[in-house]
Structure 1
Amino acid sequence: MAEASLHQSLSQSQTLAPQMRKSLEILQASTMELSHLMQQALETNPTLEDVTEVTSLDEDAPDAEEADSLEYMNESEDDWRDRSILEGRSAQWTQEDEERRQRLYDNIVAPETLQQHLQHQLDLSLIEPNVREAALVILGQLDDRGFLDTKLVELASSNSLAIKPLEEALELIKSFEPAGVGASGIPEALLIQLERSGGTETLEYKIVRDHLEDLARKRYPQIARALGTTVERITEATQTIARLSPNPGGEFDPTGNPYILPDVVIEKNDNGVWGARLTGEHLPSLRINDFYKDMIGKNGVDSKARAFLRDQIRDGRSLIRSISLRQETILAIAHKLIEQQPAFLEKGPRHLRPLTMNDVADELDLHATTVSRAVAGKYILTPQGLMEMRAFFATGYQTAGGAEVSNAGVREAIQQLISHENPAKPLSDDAITKALKTQGIKVARRTIAKYREQLNILPSHLRKSF
């Protein structure tokens, strides 16, 4: 029911109601950000209380097993119990331990992720709903550098979208900061940056557009002759080009953040079965204080006070439901990832199979944009390491044997081939193409070159050692 109203509001209007905007903010928030939002709510809404702080004093407190149940999501408006007990709370922690740990988390500021940075810019954009939907799909496909590793025609097919709104959405994203996001690779990212700074007629722009290979090989005289200028001018231009960023999303690199915490953990239980659990033992457990609910119905309460409390209780209920929906949605997506990617969990990136957000959305009866918002900025701890949830979603290829391999799997295969090559005779892109074909993976040479660049691997002539 909540999901239906969420989708309806997004479809009908570009101006979201405050409660809907808050619900989306909670859905997109990381666990650490959610902790701050909940603490802020406890400080500003007097009708809210933290169950963990009052349980020891409240003889009528709900049984832990009952409170942990997500069945409250299916109860009617009248039966709603006004609380949301989040998974993972440990009974062994004392109140002093909880307060000490909360102070620690409150003092940690989680840096904004690239996805969140772009999402904020999208939220401020006045565009048609179908273009916004297409933009959310594209944002979910950008890699850590901000590059789009998938053709629009593939995104259109896998997400049941028309190509035109995808094209409009991509152009919009290319106008976002940092300059270069949405590009297909380093060359286009550099061109976007140069176009913003000086237009398309500058010497630097022409060098990158038409002579990038010569620039990499420092063939300045050839470039100068082709562009009708001097070697000195080419040298000056290369210094400007060198100051550009080949990695627009680099400033948001999650590996540079020591405070990244997983929102979900995937691990095997004692029976060897994969399972997912939310992290959130440090989060408050919210409910509406009975005192204020009773106060509304008492005689002698000022009408303004009654109206104020009614608004606060309504806002508190909305917050609790939004948090529960967030938790349930993220956990449901994690369980689908386990179903879809068992080979990856067991064997690693090479075995990550193609999967789209639309695939998961259909199975969960959600909208693809809801899945995109739910995984944005979220991290998942797997046996293969800590990774962004969106990394599970990628298009890919079908091998000659009928198996599916994702783009990440192809990059992993390229990485392995190059890591075992003869340094005196490094593999060319053509040689890599042929080697992958013997493994049943048919990929174009230009795609190999693009993936090699994404892996920050130099061309074969620059890798050669004597």
Structure 2
Amino acid sequence: MHLNFSQQMKMSQQMKLAPRMIQSMEILQMSVMALQEKIDQELEENVVLELTDPKQKDVHESESEVSSSGAEIEQREITVDNDHNNEADFERLLEMSDDWPEDNITSGGKPSANRIDEYSDRQHDLMGNLQANPQSLHDYLLEQFHYFEVDSEVRDFGEFLIQNLDENGRLQGTLPEIMQVYGKSIDHGTADQVLGLIQKLDPPGVGARDLQECLLLQVTDDLPLRDIVITLISDHLDNISHNRLPLIERTTGYSLETIKAGLEQIRTFEPFPGRCFQSHVSQNVTPDVRVQQDDDDKWTVQLLNEYTPELKISRKYLRMLADNPDAKTKEYIRKKIESAKWLIDSIEQRHTTLRKVSQAIVDHQTDFLENGPEAIVPLKMQQIADDVGVHVTTISRAVDGKWMETPRGLYPLRRFFGGGTTTSEGDEVAWQKIRLKLQEVIDSEDKSNPLSDDALVKEMATHGYTLARRTITKYRKAMNIPSSRQRKEY
């Protein structure tokens, strides 16, 4: 296969643009916290990057001006495609391929608290909300297990068993299977004894092999209705899950009220005792944009740039670029400055795109802002792409992981997108509004005779929503609403 000259030139230009455009896409997709980490990493790795102090911006600017015309020439030389339409390149690259990696680039280094503190006390407070090095479930269990006075055989197998618990505290595999992969000889009786020790640890229910055992491990000697609870867990979990209380009543001889009282005790148990030990660091949501009404009652978007330090290229290294005679040093500085400029341009492009996209979303969803979630309208990303004049993939990246602060609370930008249907009056309505109405109908139903999906279809029709039964079933399941039989209260 032979390429003509124009094809070769086009491929060459695309290859030259790709690294910069890929960085722009990655920066655009990052959340505000991920961007902070990226900036901090770059500050650690790129000596020519500096933070701009917002309090002292433009102060003594004349002292930092480069007097050498040679430095100005060098700066112009390292400017990357200044006359090029960066946004157009960005869009062209997206159209060329939808297969670029979706994952964010995460910082390999630790955030520099000093740099952040120098920039903003508010940023320091935000980082202070992060939980530092939370203890894992495995560490917590090992800490307790080591208090047992046991021989080395029991201790070693106990540690191995703990490491074979999943994140919910459940044993991964049967005991014989775990014994087989243990690698050391241990008899079944000893293995059973060790598992029994682990099942005595906190939180109650850890070390169980299934849900039934997990619940039984949480039954204490002084539990009210203890014998009834044990019977319900041991013999009737399937009936409980299907709300077959009359069948349990006939089988056990217990009254319906007694069974319901036993179920109330079971509901206090934790089916996943390890889930309170999360491996990830929890953090408060940090909004990227804020929407508020101006003096003319128009809803406008403000980009919350106070969370993103402003960067600049060091004048010191620009002077070195002009004055240093060593070719290798000049090339090193030139590449660092080029990389810094790419980063600064990518961040600025992110700000511009995010501001435009957010404002376009707000323009479509003013009813939501003024009247609440029930007033949200159907909105597709293609509509916003057309409004802003970018590729739809840009919209997807721009809203990914971003949050908007509104007078009605914090919302992810993706929350404002979704399809809809047409009411009996011919008005478009968002699926979210339909879900809210469905929840309202189910909440107000007669719990002793809950509405079936067919009955829900008829009830929703009285409110102007003509929906198929399968649609009702689909959204009921998506909303984790049980079937009518399971919702029935006796």
Per the TM superposition, whether the score is higher than 0.5 is yes
2: CA distance, partners of 1:342 / 1:367: 24
Cα pair 1:110 1:260 within 8 Å, conserved: no
Q: What secondary structure, in the 3-state scheme, does the structure 2 residue paired with 1:338 have?
A: helix
2:412 aligned with 1:404, yes or no? no
Over the residues paired in the alignment, what is the CA RMSD in angstroms?
3.8
Q: What secondary structure, in the 3-state scheme, does the structure 2 residue paired with 1:297 have?
A: helix
2: CA distance, partners of 1:286 / 1:269: 29
Q: What secondary structure, in the 3-state scheme, does the structure 2 residue paired with 1:281 have?
A: helix
Aligned match for 1:292, one of 311, 317, 331: 317
1: CA distance, partners of 2:391 / 2:279: 27
The answer for the alignment partner of 1:362 in structure 2 is: 386
CA separation of 1:97/1:333 partners in 2, compared to 1, >3 Å: closer, same or farther? same
2: CA distance, partners of 1:61 / 1:274: 42
Cα pair 1:266 1:381 within 8 Å, conserved: yes
Cα deviation digits, residues 114-160 of structure 1 (max 9, x gap) = xxxxxxxxxxxxxxxxxxxxxxxxxxxxxxxxxxxxxxxxxxxxxxx
CA separation of 1:392/1:400 partners in 2, compared to 1, >3 Å: closer, same or farther? same
2:332 aligned with 1:308, yes or no? yes
The answer for the alignment partner of 1:417 in structure 2 is: 441
1: CA distance, partners of 2:318 / 2:460: 66
Cα deviation digits, residues 232-251 of structure 1 (max 9, x gap) = xxxxxxxxxxxx99xxxxx9
Cα deviation digits, residues 245-273 of structure 1 (max 9, x gap) = 9xxxxx999xx944211111222234432
2:57 aligned with 1:55, yes or no? yes
How many residues align? The count is: 298
Cα pair 1:354 1:395 within 8 Å, conserved: yes
1: CA distance, partners of 2:131 / 2:117: 24
The answer for the alignment partner of 1:274 in structure 2 is: 299
Q: By how many angstroms is 1:357 displaced?
A: 0.9
CA separation of 1:384/1:106 partners in 2, compared to 1, >3 Å: closer, same or farther? closer
1: CA distance, partners of 2:406 / 2:386: 24
2: CA distance, partners of 1:61 / 1:455: 62
> Residue type matched to 1:328 in 2?
T
Q: By how many angstroms is 1:21 displaced?
A: 3.0
Cα pair 1:262 1:379 within 8 Å, conserved: yes
The answer for the alignment partner of 1:391 in structure 2 is: 415
Bigger CA drift: 443-452 or 37-46? 37-46
Cα deviation digits, residues 41-69 of structure 1 (max 9, x gap) = 2222122221116527533499xxxxxxx
> Residue type matched to 2:432 in 1?
A
Cα pair 1:268 1:275 within 8 Å, conserved: yes
2: CA distance, partners of 1:316 / 1:296: 14
Q: What secondary structure, in the 3-state scheme, does the structure 2 residue paired with 1:440 have?
A: coil
Q: By how many angstroms is 1:426 displaced?
A: 2.0
1: CA distance, partners of 2:59 / 2:365: 45
Cα pair 1:33 1:110 within 8 Å, conserved: no
Aligned match for 1:371, one of 371, 395, 401: 395
What are the ranges of 5 or more consecutive residues in structure 1 without an aligned counterpart?
A: 1-7, 63-74, 81-94, 112-212, 220-243, 246-250
Aligned match for 2:458, one of 427, 434, 438: 434
Q: By how many angstroms is 1:395 displaced?
A: 1.0
Cα pair 1:275 1:338 within 8 Å, conserved: yes
Q: By how many angstroms is 1:458 displaced?
A: 1.3
> Residue type matched to 2:450 in 1?
P
The answer for the alignment partner of 2:82 in structure 1 is: 77
Q: What secondary structure, in the 3-state scheme, does the structure 2 residue paired with 1:448 have?
A: helix
Cα pair 1:98 1:282 within 8 Å, conserved: no
> Residue type matched to 1:442 in 2?
T
The answer for the alignment partner of 1:129 in structure 2 is: none
Q: By how many angstroms is 1:378 displaced?
A: 1.1
Q: By how many angstroms is 1:215 displaced?
A: 11
CA separation of 1:45/1:108 partners in 2, compared to 1, >3 Å: closer, same or farther? farther
TM-score (norm. length: structure 1): 0.56
Cα deviation digits, residues 159-186 of structure 1 (max 9, x gap) = xxxxxxxxxxxxxxxxxxxxxxxxxxxx
Q: What secondary structure, in the 3-state scheme, does the structure 1 residue paired with 2:305 have?
A: coil
2: CA distance, partners of 1:215 / 1:450: 23
Cα pair 1:110 1:259 within 8 Å, conserved: no
> Residue type matched to 2:314 in 1?
N
TM-score (norm. length: structure 2): 0.54
2: CA distance, partners of 1:110 / 1:389: 25
Q: What secondary structure, in the 3-state scheme, does the structure 1 residue paired with 2:285 have?
A: coil
The answer for the alignment partner of 1:217 in structure 2 is: 242
1: CA distance, partners of 2:37 / 2:480: 37
1:42-441 correspondence runs (5 A): 42-52=43-53, 55=57, 58-60=60-62, 77=82, 98-106=119-127, 217=242, 257-298=282-323, 300-441=324-465
Q: By how many angstroms is 1:369 displaced?
A: 0.8
What are the ranges of 5 or more consecutive residues in structure 2 without an aligned counterpart?
A: 1-9, 65-79, 86-115, 133-237, 245-270, 273-277
2: CA distance, partners of 1:257 / 1:277: 26
The answer for the alignment partner of 1:89 in structure 2 is: none
Cα pair 2:129 2:283 within 8 Å, conserved: no
Cα pair 2:117 2:123 within 8 Å, conserved: no
Cα pair 2:367 2:375 within 8 Å, conserved: yes
The answer for the alignment partner of 1:28 in structure 2 is: 29
| Higher radius of gyration, 1 or 2 | 2
CA separation of 1:428/1:402 partners in 2, compared to 1, >3 Å: closer, same or farther? same
Cα deviation digits, residues 324-370 of structure 1 (max 9, x gap) = 11111111111111111111112222222111111111111111111
2: CA distance, partners of 1:276 / 1:345: 12
2: CA distance, partners of 1:269 / 1:97: 32
> Residue type matched to 2:474 in 1?
K
Q: By how many angstroms is 1:440 displaced?
A: 2.2
Cα pair 2:289 2:303 within 8 Å, conserved: yes
